[in-house]
Amino acid sequence: MTSLRDVLMPGRVLFVGGILILLVPLIPHGETYAMRLATQCALLAILAISWNLVGGLTGYPSFATAAFFGLGAYVGGVLQQMGLPWAIALLAAACAAALLAAPFGFTILRLRGHYFAIASLMLIAILREVTTGWASLTGGGMGLNVPGAASDPETTARFALQSMLGLSAVALASSAFVAKSWVGFGLSCIRMNETAAAGAGIDAALLKTLAFTLSSGLAGAAGAIYASWIGYIDPSDVYDVMWSVRPIVAVLIGGLGTVFGPVIGTLVYIALEEVLWRNILTFGTGALGLLIIALLFFLPSGILPSLRRRYRPA
Amino acid sequence: MSIATFLQVAANGLLLGGLYAAIAAGFSLVWGVLNIVNMLHGSVVVLGSYGAFFAWQRLGLNPFAAAVVIGPCVGVLGWFIQRFVIGRVISAPVLITLVMTFALDLVLNNGMLLAFTADYRKINGATGLAPLRIGTVVLPADRLIATVLAIAGTYTVHIYLHHSRLGRAIVAVRMDKETARLMGVKVERVYAITFALGLTMAGMAGCYLAVVYPISPLASGGYLGIAFTACVLGGLGSVIGAIAGGLLLGLVESFGALAIGSEYSLTVASTILILMLLVRPQGLVGRAGYE
């Protein structure tokens, strides 16, 4: 049952997130590398937490993260280029992603296993082609220049880091809230046995769609922040399937379906990425592949569940 | 649209579709029997293309002849991959096997990028034969041979599955792996052999494609998409289904390009795929799991 600790958890997460945001201005001038790394970390954490809602909690192997990330980046980018303020562009991007995700999710969440995975993967290809084809609005394959939140790069970078931190706190808090609420309970039932869950009176279609919509809205918002942080987006960059795969790997490292697993996994993943394949640039993605294979061989359930098993024997 | 245009577009679609069928058949077989979606498939097709290219460039071998050697070589590689990597997670949830084959794809694709660079290479005039003309319809000779061989090879596999001891064992595992095990079929061996067979077909398809398309590691994603779509269109695990699905996809792309422009060909294919998944997930041909 819901304990007081569970109720307080989202609040604590937001509090810590707020403190981190307030600490950002204290980062000394010129620490570009550290800020870039921190922003990347927060970005991957958002995507990992968002993916975990569908892939971990509900057990549906979605590859659609990149689709909603890219959509958010383009909605945010185009609106900002039209001169709309940054905050409205961000909100619109989240809403656009959620608005597409609700009917699309409702439709394809009827599929199971490989079929769901493929349908979600195809959405990336569709959105990429539509974005490339609609050149009058999006700039097509030439890409799109996105005006940043501020004129100088340093302020933009700080602002991007703060927004990413804020959004990851919101994502983590809502994920903690969902996981402990009746929605999370229903999603876990669906993961274990969907037919039985439906038989016990759980509205599986509604809950799955809810999780998918929330997850996609977060990915869309992250895309919009990414667009104004990077300043230039093109379809092959933001609709890259790696935006779907990296969060999955981060969650697998941390622990599938756990609340804090995605965050821990993200930290480990980014550290590995920096240490390992900054030095072997030409074989970067290949090294990532080898890392994933090793991970699935030697740590199949992820860090958090493995630790729990070790220190809390059932 | 005049009749001449219609016939030419249909012919182009069928020529394209035969190659699609060859790409999809091995993918479909592996999916049906091992219950894994082999994300590695597209890169293996490209690997086959490179094999054909170098055999042609260095040894002067005709790609159609080289396919007979290159296919089985790729297949042996597949046997080892299944035996020592994928086999270890074969009973894990869908997500794990998907991520595993995706990781293998990253390794192979990046390896090819390192070894061969992303530059497009091409085999020009593999046979040097003049195009075949039937009435107003023009059929380029190399394409025609590639398509005919692709369909013939795929159909041979279908015959083999039904008329050999090993083939029957593969079909038995696809229908019901537990019962097959009880009947004395060594399921793990069938898995490894099926994966090897699937990759052999992918490698041979790559050799035929090398005659028609430029070769680059970057093409692998597109081939994987074709395999997905043709496989779902035709029906999972069935070789005949893959042929039907491939031909249909070729026709759809050909006519779709004529109607709304070739830049949206992938969108058309993906939309059809998603609709198909929702309306008739067992494919056009037959019931899931049976042939």
Check pLDDT > 50 for residue B290: no
Check pLDDT > 60 for residue A107: yes
Check pLDDT > 90 for residue B289: no
Confidence band, pLDDT 50/70/90 cuts, at residue B284: low
Residue whose tokens read 């935006």: A243
User: A147 touching B, CB under 8 A?
Assistant: no
| Full DSSP string of A38-71 | HHHHHHHHHHHHHHIIIIIII------HHHHHHH
The torsion angles phi and psi of A49, rounded to 5 degrees, stand at: -65, -45
* Averaged pLDDT of chain B: 85
Tell me the shortest Cα–Cα distance from B129 to chain A, in angstroms: 37
pLDDT computed for residue B282 by the predictor: 64
DSSP B287: -
Check pLDDT > 80 for residue B279: no
Least confident of A91-100, A105-114, A182-191, B257-266: B257-266
CATH assignment at residue B193: 1.10.3470
User: B260 touching A, CB under 8 A?
Assistant: no
> Whose CA is closest to A179, among A301, A26, A12, A58?
A58
Give the residue-averaged pLDDT of A164-179: 91
Distance, CA of A294 to CA of B40 (rounded, Å): 17
Check pLDDT > 80 for residue A251: yes
| Full DSSP string of B50-61 | HHHHHHHHHH--
For residue B231, the tally of other CB atoms under 10 A from its CB is: 32
Number of structural domains in chain B = 1
* Chain B positions in Cβ-Cβ contact with residue A113 (cut-off 8 Å): 94
Coil/strand/helix, residue A285: helix
Q: Residue A161 in contact with residue A35, Cβ under 8 Å? A: yes
Q: Is B274 within a domain?
A: yes
Q: Is B229 within a domain?
A: yes
Q: What angle do CA B2, B8, B11 make, to 5 degrees?
A: 140
Structure confidence by residue, pLDDT tens digits, B87-142 = 888 888 888 999 999 999 999 999 999 888 878 888 877 677 777 777 778 888 88
Q: Is B20 within a domain?
A: yes
Q: Is B289 within a domain?
A: no
Q: How many Å is the maximal CA-CA distance in chain A?
A: 60
pLDDT computed for residue A299 by the predictor: 83
Contact A114 B37 (CB under 8 A): yes
Contact A283 B114 (CB under 8 A): yes
User: Which residues are within 8 A (CB) of B173 and not within 5 positions of it... i.e. 6 or more apart?
Assistant: B33, B180, B185, B187, B190, B191, B194
Give the residue-averaged pLDDT of B160-189: 86
Confidence band, pLDDT 50/70/90 cuts, at residue B281: low
Orientation of helix A261-277 relative to helix A303-311, angle to 10°: 120
> Whose CA is closest to B63, among B73, B54, B72?
B54
Coil/strand/helix, residue B215: strand
Coil/strand/helix, residue A232: strand
Q: Is B248 within a domain?
A: yes
Least confident of A52-66, A265-279, B250-264: B250-264
Distance, CA of B87 to CA of B174 (rounded, Å): 16
Distance, CA of B151 to CA of B200 (rounded, Å): 15
- Measured in whole angstroms, the distance separating CA B68 from the mean position of its chain's CA atoms is 16
The torsion angles phi and psi of A12, rounded to 5 degrees, stand at: -60, -40
Sequence-separated contacts (24+) of B56-64 with Cβ below 8 Å: B56/B123, B56/B126, B56/B210, B62/B126, B62/B127, B63/B123, B63/B126, B63/B207, B63/B208, B63/B210, B63/B211, B64/B126, B64/B127, B64/B145, B64/B146, B64/B149, B64/B207, B64/B208, B64/B211
Mutate: best of A110, A122, A244, partner B, most B CBs <10 A: A122
Give the residue-averaged pLDDT of B193-217: 91
Distance, CA of B173 to CA of B167 (rounded, Å): 10
> Whose CA is closest to A277, among A254, A269, B39?
A269
pLDDT computed for residue B145 by the predictor: 85
DSSP H stretches of helix in chain B: 3-34, 41-59, 63-84, 94-116, 141-163, 165-175, 177-182, 187-212, 220-234, 239-260, 265-279
Check pLDDT > 70 for residue B283: no
Q: Is B187 within a domain?
A: yes
pLDDT computed for residue A193 by the predictor: 86
* Chain A positions in Cβ-Cβ contact with residue B273 (cut-off 8 Å): 118-119, 122
Confidence band, pLDDT 50/70/90 cuts, at residue B285: low
Check pLDDT > 80 for residue A310: no
Q: Which residue has the higher pLDDT, B86 or A282?
A: B86
Check pLDDT > 60 for residue B288: no
Give the residue-averaged pLDDT of B274-279: 76
* Averaged pLDDT of chain A: 87
* Chain B positions in Cβ-Cβ contact with residue A284 (cut-off 8 Å): 110
Percent of chain B with pLDDT over 70: 92
DSSP H stretches of helix in chain A: 4-23, 32-51, 65-81, 86-108, 113-133, 135-138, 153-180, 182-192, 194-199, 204-230, 235-238, 242-254, 261-277, 284-298, 303-311
pLDDT computed for residue B270 by the predictor: 76
CA atoms within 13 A on the CB side of A242: 11
Check pLDDT > 80 for residue A287: yes
Give the residue-averaged pLDDT of A191-211: 88
* Chain B positions in Cβ-Cβ contact with residue A120 (cut-off 8 Å): none
Contact B273 A115 (CB under 8 A): no
Confidence band, pLDDT 50/70/90 cuts, at residue B218: confident
Contact A118 B232 (CB under 8 A): yes
Confidence band, pLDDT 50/70/90 cuts, at residue B57: confident
**Which structural domain, as residue segments, surrounds residue B143?**
8-118+138-279
CB pairs < 8 Å spanning A and B:
114
Give the residue-averaged pLDDT of B18-24: 90
* Cross-strand pairs, A145: A232
Percent of chain B with pLDDT over 90: 24
Assigned token pair, A185? 């309970």
Least confident of A214-228, B76-90, B188-202, B253-267: B253-267
Distance, CA of B260 to CA of B271 (rounded, Å): 14
Of A4-8, A24-28, A209-213, A302-306, which one has max mean pLDDT? A209-213
Q: Residue B220 in contact with residue B42, Cβ under 8 Å? A: yes
Integer angstrom CA distances of residue A229 from A56, A81, A131, A161, A221: 29, 14, 20, 9, 12
Confidence band, pLDDT 50/70/90 cuts, at residue A179: confident
CA Rg, chain B, in Å?
19
User: In chain A, where are the structural domains located?
Assistant: 4-241
The torsion angles phi and psi of B92, rounded to 5 degrees, stand at: -75, 165
Assigned token pair, A157? 């970078």
The torsion angles phi and psi of A232, rounded to 5 degrees, stand at: -145, 125
Distance, CA of B15 to CA of B148 (rounded, Å): 8
> Whose CA is closest to B121, among B24, B40, B42, B213?
B213
Check pLDDT > 60 for residue B45: yes
Q: What is the pTM of this model?
A: 0.87
Confidence band, pLDDT 50/70/90 cuts, at residue B291: very low
Q: Is B126 within a domain?
A: no
The nearest alpha carbon in chain B to A289 belongs to B103
- Nearest CB neighbour to A296, from listed B99, B109, B281: B99
Confidence band, pLDDT 50/70/90 cuts, at residue A2: low
Assigned token pair, A158? 């700080």
Distance, CA of A12 to CA of B125 (rounded, Å): 68
Q: Is B290 within a domain?
A: no
DSSP B121: B
